[in-house]
Amino acid sequence: MRILDIREAALPMRSDLRNSVFSFAEMTVSIVAVLTDRMVEGEPVIGYAFNSIGRYACGEPMRARFIPRLTQAPPDTLLDPDGYLDPAKALRCMLVGEKPGGDAARAVPVGTIETALWDAVAKARRLPLAELISRTWRQRPMEARVPCYVGGGWYKPDSKPGDVAEELQRHLDAGYTHMKIKVGGLSLAEDIGRVEEALKLLGGDPQRLSVDVNGRFSTAEALDYASALAPFNLRWFEEPCHPNDFQASAAIAAAYPGALATGENLFSPHDVWNQVRFGGWRADRDYLQMDPPQIYGIATYANLVRDLAADGWGHDRHFPHGGNQMSLALVAGLGLGGCEAYPGFFGAFGGYADDCDVSNGSMPAPQRPGIGFEGQSRLHALMREVAAGWI
């Protein structure tokens, strides 16, 4: 199995959503397509990925460094013993010449390409990526269904506390049972009003609701919110401070008795281990939410879950960020805590396969070979445009 070509294209996300820090109005996304020489059912195997949600398109470093390193490498050096592409060898190849540190500058472009390679390998093996992941890291079949929650409760330009109930009701009607809403974009009193309104809609069960700050607060602000939120006993309080301020994180963990969550803005295993060792995170209650293509890809994520398990972090402590097929493959493959979902958000880039059946707060594992983007008609159409001329 050989790489014949790799392409990247930047596309607008086309979303006017806002969290407590920024609007997605200018956000762009990188789609990657990897053409291989393997044929399945008369068509070339093409691996696809995109760089998830919340990071701008990153094609320049791909084209300048990472794609040429792969396409210029001796083909046999990128293969596993069975003759398939080996994403681990491809990852090492892309990192040749890279200075340690500064992971945020390369983890996303490298991880997006690595994820596309996994899509290609799983398609060549005619397996869902979740099944291939489970066989590789757990030596057992993938999960049949996985829990999922909605990452929502967004702010609008004219947001007011009453807006959140209308949004969450749509998600309940669609089969979701657990929700997450934004806080930090209004006053503390107004945000607490949003929490109370959401809880009323969710039957008063605090374990069905989480809140997300998106890293906006100072330590003092975070502690004020922690004090106000503690009596609610919510499912988790997410990313209250800058993701690399481990001192602030530890201070909040020491003051807040409930569960905390972070990880979507950590870009390497070293970042995650620093969070666990120095950020005060507690393996018995807190959560980690790394984003697969933004932390060097599928294998780095899976290896990190394995290594953290040896340190006392159960698989149920992981809820990968992204709300897409890439995260779903890891949740179903590794038996993680659950998936995030963005139903109706982020245009073609949010959500799962068109035929995905959400019911009672869970969704089925994908059955299509590879990641399963072919089941998302709008997104797959964009991906095929990137691969124009190959098919």
Q: Measured in Å, how far apart are the chain's first and last C-alpha atoms?
A: 17
Alpha carbon separation from 146 to 106, 134, 143 (Å, rounded)? 31, 14, 7
Per DSSP, helices labelled H in 29-153 are 59-61, 67-71, 87-94, 107-124, 129-137
Task: Identify the CA nearest to 129 among candidates 306, 353, 316.
Answer: 353
The first and second tokens of residue 286, run together, are 């807190």
Q: Cβ–Cβ contacts within 10 Å for residue 95, how many? A: 15
Out of 171, 178, 180, 321, which one is annotated catalytic? 321
Give the predicted TM-score (pTM) of the model: 0.96
Contact 300, 326 (CB under 8 A): no
Contact 111, 294 (CB under 8 A): yes
CA distance 254 to 269: 24
pLDDT of residue 54: 86
Residue where the block lists tokens 């657990």: 178
Characterize 1-25 residue by residue with b for buried, 16 or more Cβ atoms within 10 angstroms of its Cβ, and e for exposed: bebeebbbbebebebebbbbeeebe
DSSP 200-255: HHTTT-GGGEEEE-TT-B-HHHHHHHHHHHGGG--S-EE--B-TT-HHHHHHHHHH
**Three-class SS state of 33:** strand
Give the pLDDT of the chain (391 residues) as one tens digit per residue.
999 999 999 998 766 565 656 566 778 999 999 999 999 999 999 999 999 988 889 999 999 999 999 999 999 999 999 999 999 999 999 999 999 999 999 999 999 999 999 999 999 999 999 999 999 999 999 999 999 999 988 887 776 667 788 899 999 999 999 999 999 988 999 999 999 999 999 999 999 999 999 999 999 999 999 999 999 999 999 999 999 999 999 999 999 999 999 999 999 999 999 999 999 999 999 999 999 999 999 999 999 999 999 999 999 999 999 999 999 999 999 999 999 999 888 888 988 999 999 999 999 999 999 999 999 999 999 999 999 999 8
Of all helices (H) and strands (E), which one includes residue 313? none
Contact 114, 44 (CB under 8 A): no
* Residue 187, Cβ density class (10 Å: 0-12 exposed, 13-18 middle, ≥19 buried): exposed
Kindly state the DSSP code that residue 19 receives in the 8-state scheme.
Answer: -
- Within its chain, how far is the Cα of 389 from the centroid? 30
Residue where the block lists tokens 């095929």: 384
Residue where the block lists tokens 């070293």: 270
Contact 80, 91 (CB under 8 A): no
Residue where the block lists tokens 């281990």: 273
- Residues 6 or more apart whose CB falls under 8 angstroms from that of 310 comprise none
Q: Is 321 a catalytic residue?
A: yes
CA distance 167 to 179: 10
- What's the residue count for the chain? 391
Task: For residue 140, give the amino acid letter.
Answer: R
Out of 123, 171, 182, 318, which one is annotated catalytic? 182
Kindly state the DSSP code that residue 4 receives in the 8-state scheme.
Answer: E
DSSP 339-388: EEE-TT-SGGGSS--TT---BTTEEEPP-SSBT-GGG-HHHHHHHHHHTT
* Angle subtended by helix axes 298-310 and 107-124, to nearest 10: 100
